Amino acid sequence: MDQTLSFLQPDVVAQLATMELRARLVVEGFMTGLHKSPYHGFSVEFTEHRPYMPGDEIKHVDWKAYGKTNRYYIKQFEEETNLKSTIVLDASASMAFSSGGRMSKLRYAAYTAAALSYLMVEQRDAVGLTLFDEAIRLSLPPRATRSHLKQVWKELELAVPGKITRTAAALNSVAESLKRRGLVIILSDLFDDPKSVTTAFKHFRHKGNELVVMHVLDPLERSFAFEADAVFRDLETREEMVTQPWHIRSSYKQAMQEFIDTYQRECREHAIDYVLLDTSTTFDKSLMEYLHLRSRLH
């Protein structure tokens, strides 16, 4: 495997030291696989003044403002963005689950979010970040600056599993809090009542947002491939159940498939993009989904 392409593999990315390095190398690997850059040019627009500080470049002084005020002011510029995006990350206790030495669902979702945010800013799109468990824990509004991107990465690095899952209620709060229409990407295991959660999805659509749901699971949650007697502990309630997994594997897998099918069907019916991921899925799948949607919006 090409060394650059290897950075699309979750187990390789997990060994990297920082969130910035993970994001950069994932996107570099993705772009290598894509064979051509989708990056576009950008323009800037004047936004505001600030007082001149030692070290500022003279060329940015607004001489008209100086003529009126006899004070030196610097023109501040903000990158003109094509799209405002918000990444909504589930940081509830259930996202702590991992199996077989893999990273947890939360780590996988955070690395995905880091790479997406980097690709967005490279595209001159603004990116915001929201973390939730039973309620909103963090909300960074969309911006397209490098300093903001570093703040997003910092928060993703610090994200830890929190309280119980109240996905539907939290997502409704997020939808209500968004001030402007844009693209919303949800990364979650969606462990809540599908009917309530899909109603929250429709809340985003009703407010004019494009929505991508990235359904993050652990491979063992889908296969239930336990071989020996096991004790199952709820990560949120701490309740325990002892069982022989092979007795219930068939009914469990059927219930899990129905759970996934419900979300796929509801998303399709309401023009919502749905992507099924697990923590062994290479990161290019989520990045390609973003670029496909972005191309449709332009």
In this prediction, residue 295 carries a pLDDT of: 79
pLDDT higher than threshold 80 for residue 77: no
The 10s digit of each residue's pLDDT in 238-283 is: 677 666 665 667 788 899 999 999 999 999 999 999 999 999 999 9
pLDDT higher than threshold 50 for residue 43: no
Mean pLDDT within 230-236: 61
Q: Beta partners for 186? A: 88, 213
Asked if residues 139 and 133 have their Cβ atoms less than 8 Å apart, the reply is no
* Alpha carbon separation from 107 to 1, 130, 218 (Å, rounded): 24, 15, 11
pLDDT tier, 227 (very low <50, low <70, confident <90, very high otherwise): low
- pTM score of the predicted model: 0.80
Unique residue bearing structure tokens 């610090």? 158
pLDDT higher than threshold 60 for residue 293: yes
pLDDT higher than threshold 60 for residue 87: yes
Mean pLDDT within 67-85: 69
Instruction: In whole angstroms, give the CA distance from residue 255 to residue 241.
Output: 18
Instruction: In whole angstroms, give the CA distance from residue 19 to residue 256.
Output: 32
pLDDT higher than threshold 80 for residue 285: yes
Instruction: In whole angstroms, give the CA distance from residue 191 to residue 185.
Output: 17
Torsion of CA 169, 85, 213, 40, to 10 degrees: 180
The proportion of the chain whose per-residue pLDDT surpasses 70, expressed as a percent, equals 81
The 10s digit of each residue's pLDDT in 112-150 is: 999 999 999 988 889 999 999 999 999 999 999 999 999
Q: Quick check: helix, strand or coil at residue 209?
A: coil
Instruction: In whole angstroms, give the CA distance from residue 277 to residue 275.
Output: 6
Report for 13-27, 53-67, 74-88, 213-227: range of highest mean pLDDT: 13-27
Unique residue bearing structure tokens 């539907």? 168
Domains of the chain: 5-34+81-297 (3.40.50.410), 44-79 (no CATH)
Burial 253-268 (b: 16+ CB within 10 A, else e): eeeeeebbeebbebbe
Residue 91 phi, psi (nearest 5): -120, 35
